Structure 1
């Protein structure tokens, strides 16, 4: 009966530990269940042995000692000395129950000790306690067999075979348990580190979003100051002049009012462009070709210059790439209209197997790239292109026009 209960104990432990390997995230509850199961088996075995065996056995003392050993599992020492004393008390209690009061299945108590040890100690301490538990279990088993503390009579050869079988079984079970718990704890540590990394990543993303929001607000503030603020100032000056000349020089006053009307038209167009730039999806309800055509038409109306477009797209691109292409063209044409004073603008959208290339070239006054490389418009284009693992090149110099080349990889294109 001793052999049967021993084998069943390890069989149940193996089943529970195999479940733990399938779900390491629930390792601690499974180990707690395994500990409770083993202690319950020891208690039941002790009652059965008391009822059906004539061997001397102290049921009350054994159950009391088992209760004390169970209660020790609720204590969680933290200091090294406290851990040493805690482990020593557990060893002494198990040896007393196994040798003095002859408790049933003492090896199961050593398995419980190993479970607690894996959660209590780290590194070399854990290995040493496990080794001591293994030798302690084999020692108590040897004590029982050598003193023939058995429920049935066995030949000496059977006793030796039983000792070898149980020793090997227990050793393999302890080794498997140790490896399983080590793997589970390492996995939990990696999950904690991953959770910390994810938290930091979310924090970095929020910071990037905040910085991008601040940058966009600064750009909008600059646009309002440069366009709308300037226009309102001119409105005030022209209205004041028109009111002053209304009686003395009506013709001059009318000319000022016409200028105000023209300036109002220009200002409204710039406000619409700013609002369009703020839209999260400028291609909503239209495709890329239609959106580019609207950009070119608006540019022609406001400047009198009709950009030449050579669109060589052969496949439907992803939505993200279409938006980047649109934003690059929008920002480039806005810069040409505001600063370049160009008379010709050429746009080429070429596609190869690996990438799509957007080129915007004008014959305007150009600029010094070293002094304007961090402007909001250029920086925005760079960020959009880099977000798709692309490349942005700008070739310009004062009085030599400007050529912008954006190259976007087609790793996600739809053929």
Structure 2
């Protein structure tokens, strides 16, 4: 059934009722031979209006039968009761409007052609009396037929424009509904990803605390127990154990500071990238006694996201070197060249086989950060020859 929820369709419905009411009024005012004549003509118009409340839109056979019934309701009073040409004009216009609602363009043109043929036959085949007005009547009839044809064509174009507008509105509403559903799904997925990322970060920090701070505190506890055992019998040995416990406490404090720094959303704390990396390297050298050198040349300012990505990669690399490399020298280079930001971190440690370890030592986290920035990540290492991490990020992300 045709939906009448759009203003354009309601306008067509009101126009149809207005045309039918006008045709019925014209038939009541038209001269008639018997009492039953206007009743039959108005009754046919009323039935034509009632069946239009539910138009077939699916089955082609039902559409054809419906249109044939409409033609019958118009032609029957024309032939039997002499329905006026003006009323016929309006009823054929209603028929064309309905055909636009139920048929595609070929069907609409067929209905238009049949309506024009029927109206022309009705008008041109009527006898003309007296003979002296034949020329005038024929001129009027031809003009009327031409006007009727132009009216049908105009109505066809207008109604199709209204239908196209309705279809555009429907498509827009469907697209809006789909977009709303998609937006809700994306929001749900984003929340899930955020929760998953938070859980992974918590697990990573838990591992860091267990492997770093937990080990340091365990070793400190052992040294304190040794000091308690020897503090009466061997004072100097107990003092040495206490000094080692103090040193382990300092290392534990540094581990806590590092974990808190990892949790910060802006690890640079208002510093420039060069200053933040330089401070990170100084702290690393003071804590590990590993010699460091750096060469940072950035003639352009980077976005906060880019700064954070580069800083985190340097931070994770230094952590891995301290834990696993047994290195005595670390070199960090950062520069901009040919539309790319190039970062390299190298050490002279024991190295490893990248084919045997592609996700450990924090490498997976670094790869994910670089991939999120649409950059390239590479690692070069072999046993006994140290390690070098190379990162290239497009400067378009700045």
Question: Which category of TM-score, normalised to the shorter sequence, fits these structures?
Answer: 0.7 to 0.9
| 1:207 Cα deviation from its structure 2 partner | 4.9
8 Å contact kept, 1:341–1:364:
yes
Q: C-alpha distance in 2, partners of 1:38/1:178?
A: 10
User: Residue 7 of structure 1 aligns with which residue?
Assistant: none
CA gap 1:45/1:114 in 2 versus in 1, 3 angstroms? closer
In structure 2, distance between residues paired with 1:65 and 1:32: 23
Q: Does 1:98 align with 2:74?
A: yes
> Hey, what's the Cα distance between the residues in 1 that align with 2:269 and 2:96?
69
Aligned length: 366
Whole-Å Cα distance in 2 between the matches of residues 39 and 106 of structure 1? Answer: 15
SS at match of 1:372: coil
User: How many angstroms does 1:192 deviate by?
Assistant: 5.9
Q: 1:132 matched to which residue of 2?
A: 107
Correspondent of 1:42 among 5, 13, 16: 16
Corresponding residue SS for 2:352: coil
Q: Indicate the RMSD between aligned Cα atoms, in angstroms.
A: 3.5
State whether residues 283 and 291 of structure 1, in contact with CA within 8 Å, keep that contact through their aligned partners in structure 2.
Answer: yes
> Which position in structure 1 is the counterpart of 2:100?
114
CA deviations on 1:145-184 (whole Å, 9 max, x unpaired) are 432399xx76232133224323433444465556656666
Matched with 2:149 is: 164
Task: Name the CA distance, whole Å, in 2 between partners of 1:378 and 1:30.
Answer: 62
Query: What is the alpha-carbon distance in structure 2 between the residues aligned to residue 396 and residue 239 of structure 1?
Result: 40
Tell me the CA shift for residue 295 of structure 1.
Answer: 0.6
Give the superposition deviation at 1:370. 1.9
Distance 2:316 2:262 in 1: 9
Q: How far apart are the structure 2 equivalents of 1:404 and 1:202?
A: 35
TM-score (norm 1): 0.75
Instruction: Compute the displacement of 1:114 (Å).
Output: 3.3
Q: Compared with structure 1, are the counterparts of its residues 106 and 224 closer, same or farther at alpha carbon in structure 2 (3 Å cutoff)? A: farther
CA distance in 2, matches of 1:316, 1:187: 43
Q: Is the 8 A contact 1:328 1:381 kept in 2?
A: yes
**How do residues 176-325 of structure 1 correspond to structure 2 at under 5 angstroms?**
176=161, 198=183, 201-202=186-187, 204-325=189-310
Query: Unaligned 5+ residue runs, structure 1?
Result: 1-27, 118-125
Runs of at least 5 residues in structure 2 that lack an aligned partner in the other structure? 32-37, 78-86, 127-136
CA contact (8 A) 1:312 1:350 kept: yes
TM-score by length of 2: 0.78
